[in-house]
Amino acid sequence: MPETKLTIDGTKFLVNGELTYSEIPNSKPAAHGLLMNARFIQGIFDDNRNPERFARYGHKKWDAEANTDRLIAALPEWYSYGLRAFTVGIQGGGPCFTIDNNTIGNNPFGTDGRHLDPAYAARLDRLIRAADKLGMIVIVSYFYGTQTVEIADGRGIRNAVTTASRFLRENGYTNVIIEVANEQDVRAFGTHEIIMTADGMAWLIDLAREESGGMPVGCSGKGGSRKREIVEASDVVFIHGNGLSRQHYYKMIRDVTEWAPGRPVVCNEDSQAIGQLKVAELTGTSWGYYNNMTKQEPPTDWSVLPGEDRFFALRMAKTIGIEVDLPPFEEQYYLQGFEPEMTYDGMRWPRLASLYPENIDYVEFFRNGTPYYLSFDEPFTVHFNSSWKQRGVRVEPGESWSATIHLRDGRTLEKSATT
């Protein structure tokens, strides 16, 4: 029997009849009913074209089952910091920094959408049931753009929605929210008008709700995107904050709450720019951590890693009112990207993680003592493309890197690393 039953009352989430977080002593009443979450999109990932490419990051071989098991093992630690939900993709997501997703075979629906690969189904079942035992919610995302091109046509898309939704219904899950597509308006979905158009997606949302037996359903657009027809059709309003300033993120929240008052707003993908948590806190909405490098490049270490992961976990706990010990001032900054295993084809992705990035004015990066890059916006990466993406650097062994952190109060601090 399921142990975690999700219900929705207006803008609030309840688990087993109680507002989320209300069971935590001294938690903040403003956090009660929220659903802080993370993007663990590769939780059931596999590659049927060239899986040996994913024998990396310290792993001697790729093992899809072990990948899911590692995520299950990591969930209790995340739960202790206040994480109550995570997004997993049936078609996964993109390892956006390293391997072209167009070359990956990760579509368990087949070309006609009429079946769900048994190995994927078993991993998804195992993951949802493990979350259920902990009291966690799983946001199950059906479609990812570059994998959905493998589905032949609109009929195949409709079939896949029916297949996935019936699977969820027949297994009796009570801790699931459905996200029909991850960013339905990205160019990769262009071959399927039923996903790309707002009216088509609203119809798919209705189909998923009906075929799942009434599970809550929504659909995200790309960072900053919102479409009224989709918002109004959704039980849970999913938004993505990728690439947005805090002001633009706030405006998006204002827009969707005006279109669909009285419904919960859940960002289930932003970036490692944890300063956005303040906007979520002040608007009474739920926020989703998304880290391309630590949590979307298979094989993933799903634990709370030093730097960005840990700083997010601590900030989330503080936002909720969970008692945690914060590190000393100098340990609230971490030069990320130089961990021994976090390299691919000689490339690294240097960045400066911080517990309170709002306090930083700018960061100077130095390579072998020579000025290399200036970063002015969170999350303070080298070769910044967006809050969720950066270009890598080909780094030789033995290089010295450092970051001079200029704080808004005039203080400076230096962090260094050696490859």
Amino acid 250: pLDDT: 98
Could you tell me if 224 and 248 are in contact, meaning their C-beta atoms sit under 8 angstroms apart?
Answer: yes
209-214: long-range contacts at Cβ-Cβ below 8 A with a sequence spacing of 24 or more? 209/178, 209/235, 210/165, 211/161, 211/162, 211/165, 211/166, 211/169, 212/165, 212/166, 212/168, 212/169, 212/176, 212/178, 213/169
Amino acid 39: pLDDT: 98
Please write the tens of the pLDDT for every residue from 251-269.
999 999 999 999 999 999 9
Q: Both tokens of residue 157?
A: 């898309």
Say whether pTM exceeds 0.85.
Answer: yes
Q: DSSP 3-state assignment of 275?
A: helix
β-partners of residue 217 are 178
Low-confidence ranges of the chain (pLDDT < 70): none
114-122: long-range contacts at Cβ-Cβ below 8 A with a sequence spacing of 24 or more? 114/159, 114/163, 115/163, 116/90, 116/163, 116/164, 116/167, 119/46, 119/64, 120/44, 120/46, 120/90, 121/167
How far is the C-alpha of 31 from the C-alpha of 281, rounded, in Å?
A: 8
The residue among 311, 310, 272, 266 whose CA lies nearest residue 289 is 272
Q: What is the DSSP string of 167-219?
A: HHHHTT-SSEEEEEESSTTSGGGGG-HHHHSHHHHHHHHHHHHHHTTS--EE-
Number of Cβ within a 10 Å radius of residue 212: 23
Domains, the chain, with CATH or none = 6-320 (3.20.20.80), 329-418 (2.60.40)
Q: What is the DSSP string of 88-152?
A: EETT----TTTS-GGG----TTTTTS----HHHHHHHHHHHHHHHHHT-EEEEEEE-HHHHTTS-
Amino acid 6: pLDDT: 98
CA distances 188 to 10, 95, 183, 416, Å, are: 34, 15, 10, 39
Amino acid 92: pLDDT: 97
β-partners of residue 212 are none
Amino acid 135: pLDDT: 98
What does the angle CA 179 – CA 46 – CA 383 come to, to the nearest 5 degrees?
A: 75
Could you tell me if 89 and 141 are in contact, meaning their C-beta atoms sit under 8 angstroms apart?
Answer: yes
